[in-house]
Amino acid sequence: MSASKKTAIITGANAGIGFQAALKLAEKDTRILMACRSVEKAKQARRDLLAQVPGAEVEILPLDVSELSSIKEFVARFSEQVETLDILINNAGIVTPNLSRNSQGYELHLATNYLGAFALTGMLLPYFRKGSPTRIVNVCSLAHRFGKFDFDDPNWNNTTYNNWKAYARSKIATAGFTMELNRRLQQSGSNVIALSAHPGFAATDMGRKTGATTPKTAFAQWYQGKMEAWIVAKPEQAAEPIIYAASAEGIGGGDYYGPTGLFEIKGKTGKARLNPLARDIDFGKRLWAISESLTGARYLSDL
Ligand SMILES: NC(=O)c1ccc[n+]([C@@H]2O[C@H](COP(=O)([O-])OP(=O)(O)OC[C@H]3O[C@@H](n4cnc5c(N)ncnc54)[C@H](OP(=O)(O)O)[C@@H]3O)[C@@H](O)[C@H]2O)c1
């Protein structure tokens, strides 16, 4: 591998937006590490990618981002195989209708969409290439704008569970984490920047495979069958803000990108609307503290 070639880790790169990001970055001559929980699915995705970008450097490293033990194993394997990292895209995500938990008892939206990204980022930070611009892109969602973070009960142990509120919670955490991470990176004098992007609404399998978006009424069935494809973006279009955040020149830490069409559902990539809570310094500090405590991953602390 040439030393000048960039290396990107993309979590959940076997499907949907993560796959499109892998494809487009491979086209830009970036070495791709697909961090996926299903090696079989990742192998098929790798074949599909290579069919479109012959000669691309694409490797698979197993990762279940909802489990801390898997994150530790992933980072250990990564550090044996690769010297430096230029881009980390924390993309893996779920939406699921039922209350589910990881092996530590953490609610699964929080564990997968947020806590895993927090821990993975901290463990990978020492491997970012020194002396050149490098970046961490966290994949957010329009849902973050409605998200509330309950510091007393982040894992829905004592609160009536609602899956969409849980999803939104994981995404306001993602947004707040990105801003706080970028502040801490700046304060530490790091050359790494952190920013986020959201895809709008995309016709991926995310809600379908868990049944979270299975239509319950005749109208919803008609909408999903006929209207959805017309209203929402295809995965390749939805991935554009994420690819832009990961690869465009001249963008800054703390930026937030998304589609600029009606309600940010789809359209040309530009700056997107961030929930002001995500920029709140007290929120960021509290979120950092609780994330360190829940994951045991301590980094950029005492800043
Ligand atoms: N689609 C939308 O409208 C939309 C809107 C806003 C935000 N987003 C965000 O965009 C990101 C990508 O979603 P998508 O729409 O592309 O969904 P998708 O097609 O379902 O892709 C999600 C990816 O994440 C992986 N993943 C899930 N849990 C994982 C785990 N525990 N460990 C490792 N990988 C895991 C999935 O693996 P498997 O294939 O094994 O399940 C898949 O590769 C998510 O963060 C999502 O919240 C999507």
Residue 299 CA, ligand 1 centroid: distance in Å: 26
Domain assignment present for residue 2? The answer is: no
pLDDT at 40: 98
pLDDT at 26: 98
pLDDT at 104: 97
pLDDT at 177: 98
Which residues span the domain enclosing 102? 7-295
Domain assignment present for residue 63? The answer is: yes
pLDDT at 206: 80
pLDDT at 118: 98
- d(C-alpha 303, C-alpha 299), whole Å: 10
Which two three-digit tokens encode residue 195? 């920013």
CA-closest residue to ligand 1 atom 1: 202
CB contact at 8 A, 133 and 191? yes
Regions of the chain where pLDDT drops below 50: none
CB contact at 8 A, 60 and 78? no
Domain assignment present for residue 282? The answer is: yes
**CATH code of the domain containing 241:** 3.40.50.720
pLDDT at 239: 97
pLDDT at 303: 74
Query: What residue spans of the chain are helical by DSSP H?
Result: 16-27, 39-52, 68-81, 108-109, 116-124, 163-187, 206-210, 218-222, 228-231, 235-238, 240-247, 281-295
Among this protein's residues, is 299 annotated catalytic? Answer: no
How many structural domains is the chain composed of?
1
Domain assignment present for residue 302? The answer is: no
**Catalytic pick from 114, 167, 256, 257?**
167
Domain assignment present for residue 124? The answer is: yes
Neighbours of 292 (CB within 10 A): 17
Residues within 6 Å of ligand 1 by CB: 11-12, 14-18, 36-38, 41, 63-66, 91-94, 112-113, 139, 141, 198-199, 201-202, 204-206
Domain assignment present for residue 1? The answer is: no
Domain assignment present for residue 301? The answer is: no
Domain assignment present for residue 138? The answer is: yes
- d(C-alpha 180, C-alpha 138), whole Å: 12
